[in-house]
Structure formats: C-alpha cells, structure tokens
Amino acid sequence: MTGTKTNAGNFFEDFRFGQEIIHPTPRTVTYGDVALYTALYGSRFAVQSSDEFAKALGYPRSPIDDLLTFHVVFGKTTPEISLNAIANLGYANCRFLKPVYPGDTLNSVSEVIGLKENSNRETGTVYVRSTGRNQNDEVVLEYCRWVMVRKRDKNSPAPEAVVPKLPDRVDPAELAKAVPPLHIANYNVALAGSTHRWGDYDVGEKIDHVDGMTLEEAEHQIATRLYQNTAKVHFNLHTESKGRFGKRIVYGGVVISLVRALSYNGLGNAFHFAAINGGRHVAPTFAGDTIYAWSEVLEKSEIPGRSDIGALRVRLVGVKNMDCANHPLKTDTGDYADGVIIDLDTWLVLPR
C-alpha cells in the first residue's frame, strides 16, 4: 500500500480566504532557550537579563525577550504558511500582549485574511493574522504578516484578490498590557546601562547605534532551528543553490533580533519591545554580512493610566556591510538605499 504521509507544505492555490490553521507543535520555553537566545544575539536589556532587576520593578521574575516570544510563535506557523515561501514581505499590527516566562507553553493559530496572485502567475501573496497563546489560553502575541508563496501550477486559477486594510499604527493604549504596574523608583539606571529615560528623547532625533555584528552561517541556522522554523529557503543549500541567490537566505527574524540587540547602545532603557506598527524586509541577508542599526524617534506618547512608563514610536533600520553614521535609508528617487535590509516602525516602552 502506498500513500503520502509527508507534508509538502501549502502552495498559493491551497489557501482560502477566511481559512483557520491550527499549527503544531506546542512549545514549552525553557531557560535553555533564553541562554541560547542571548548567545546568538547578545541582547543586554536589564529586565530580560536579571531576575533581581525585574523583581525589584514588580515582575515575578525576568520575562523572556519579547522577540523570543515572537520567534517561537512565528516558527510554529512556517510549515503551513511559508514552507514554500520565496520571501516574507512585511508585518503590521503586531502587539505583545502578555509577558512570557520560562516554563510557559506557546502555541499558534493563523487566519488567512488576504490573497493576491502576482502578475507572473508563478507566485502569490498570502496575508495572515497569527495569534500566539500560552498554556492558559491567554493571548500573548498577535500580528499580521504577508508572504510571497510559490504556486504549484502556474496555470491553476487564482482566487479572487483580497488585500486587507491594516491599521497604520497600534493604539498606545494597548501598550501597557504586557507591562505590570512598576515600582519605578526602583529602576536602577546604572545597572540598566543608560541614564536616558522616556522624557530624554525628542521626536525627530536620530541615533546611530554604532556597533556592528557579523552574522555567521552556523548562527543563523541554529537560531532558525531553535524556533522550529522549517522554511526551505533558510536550510536547504541543495535546493537553494539552484535558486535566484544560489545560497540560503537568513531568516528575517534573526535580522530583527540582531538589530534590536544592537539598539541597546542608545536605547538601553527601552526594555519592552511593545509593537510593530509596520515593517518590511527590504533586501535579503546572507551569512558573512555585518549588521548595523540606527533609529529615528517618530512619536512620543503617554500611556493612558500609566505614570511609570511612556512609549516611543521608533523607526528601527538595519543595514548590512556599512556603518550608519549618515543614517542611510532612501535615495532621492524614493528607493531604499543600497545596504538597507530592514525597516521597522515600532513602539518601545521606557521608564519615565
């Protein structure tokens, strides 16, 4: 008896508007995950680094890095959403809604909220809203993303095009959900490594985060496996050597985490990565590239009902193989400058 028991992943024509996808496999986050995440990116934000620092503020212990939560939830979705992807294109309305701690178990569910075949008829863009929940069925993260997925058959009929309307920004009133009321007098700026609080930043201010980090082949492979992300473009050199780049592409979340870690130098008290209003992977990254970062403060907002914390809307830009002294972003024609690899519109939470 013969049959197919393996998962070849969904191609563009397999998706349906409104479809709900429950993703395997639930994942319990451990202290080992936290240690490996630190080893891969070198993040130094004090709340996520020290139980004692976090407990002095009112956390029961140190929560895991917000982006580790993102990667675990995201990784669950790849076998069904992006196993046959060419590229992950962008994000919107990403909200971190509850702290996650070692010992918590995370799972993911996605809803298809848009579909649009590309003009070459060989690929299409799939829009999904993915939700991560903990073992108590509490939502810890929700985000939208869109991804370019191969078609199985160029001649297969395209579904009716639906492109969702997504909000331009997350409402600042939602940003406090993942931050308990803090004993802000206990926030030790010396131990945090920065004296600059929410009130010390100005709209329009640009920050060159100075440091660079070279991304190694083994690192991005280990990182992506850590999140159980199975997308072929990140792992399979045998197939990708025949593709458009001739080599494996680094998972975009690795770039986000590197840029976030580099931003510590200049935003050391931005302890909570609260939201991604929108963003896109501008260009691919490969092993051997050196990543730099710079930021621009787009907006400052008080958070309703909270006198302990405030929010900065920050454009976080990642660049490869060039420094950021001149804050490279776009050319006079409006195109992204050479070297820009990621452009994220984020909300960050700082102590007041």
Dihedral, 149, 155, 159, 163 alpha carbons, nearest 10:
50
- pTM: predicted TM-score of the whole model, two decimal places: 0.94
- Answer for the pair 96, 65: CB distance below 8 angstroms, yes or no: no
Residue 214 lies in a domain: yes
Is there a single domain that holds both residue 352 and residue 205? Answer: yes
100 CB-near residues (< 8 Å, 6+ apart): 29, 63, 64, 68, 69, 106, 134, 140
Residue 171 lies in a domain: no
Dihedral, 55, 59, 61, 64 alpha carbons, nearest 10:
-130
Specify the amino acid at residue 231.
Answer: A
Is there a single domain that holds both residue 121 and residue 235? Answer: no
- Written as tens digits, the pLDDT of the chain (352 aa) is 556 788 888 999 999 999 999 999 999 999 999 999 999 999 999 999 999 999 999 999 999 999 999 999 999 999 999 888 888 888 999 999 999 999 999 999 999 999 999 999 999 999 999 999 999 999 999 999 999 999 999 999 988 999 999 999 999 999 988 999 999 999 999 999 999 999 999 999 999 999 999 999 999 999 999 999 888 888 888 988 998 899 999 999 999 999 999 999 999 999 999 999 999 999 999 999 999 999 999 999 999 999 999 999 999 999 999 999 999 999 999 999 999 999 999 999 999 9
Residue among 212, 181, 204, 207 nearest 194 (CA): 207
236 CB-near residues (< 8 Å, 6+ apart): 248
Residue 170 lies in a domain: no
**Which residue intervals of 16-120 are DSSP H helices?**
31-41, 46-49, 51-57, 66-81
3-state secondary structure of 252: helix
CATH of the domain at 350: 3.10.129.10
Is there a single domain that holds both residue 95 and residue 151? Answer: yes
Q: How many CB atoms lie within 10 A of CB 169?
A: 16
Is there a single domain that holds both residue 127 and residue 271? Answer: no
Is there a single domain that holds both residue 217 and residue 349? Answer: yes
Residue 89 lies in a domain: yes
Residue 49 lies in a domain: no
Is there a single domain that holds both residue 150 and residue 296? Answer: no
Is there a single domain that holds both residue 279 and residue 312? Answer: yes
Separation between Cα atoms, residue 338 and residue 319, nearest integer Å: 9
Is there a single domain that holds both residue 248 and residue 126? Answer: no
Backbone angles phi, psi at 289, to 5 degrees: -75, 145
End-to-end CA distance of the chain: 67
Is there a single domain that holds both residue 95 and residue 134? Answer: yes
Number of domain units in the chain: 2
Residue among 145, 167, 194 nearest 45 (CA): 194
Backbone angles phi, psi at 244, to 5 degrees: -70, -25
Peptide bond into 25 cis (omega under 30): yes
Of 160, 193, 218, the last residue of a domain is 160
Domain span holding position 111: 9-29+64-160
Is there a single domain that holds both residue 327 and residue 282? Answer: yes
Is there a single domain that holds both residue 330 and residue 192? Answer: yes
Of 107, 128, 160, the last residue of a domain is 160
- Answer for the pair 117, 70: CB distance below 8 angstroms, yes or no: no
Residue 126 lies in a domain: yes
Residues in a beta bridge with 112? 128
Residue among 302, 307, 299 nearest 201 (CA): 299
Is there a single domain that holds both residue 207 and residue 134? Answer: no
Of 128, 160, 192, the last residue of a domain is 160
Separation between Cα atoms, residue 151 and residue 153, nearest integer Å: 5
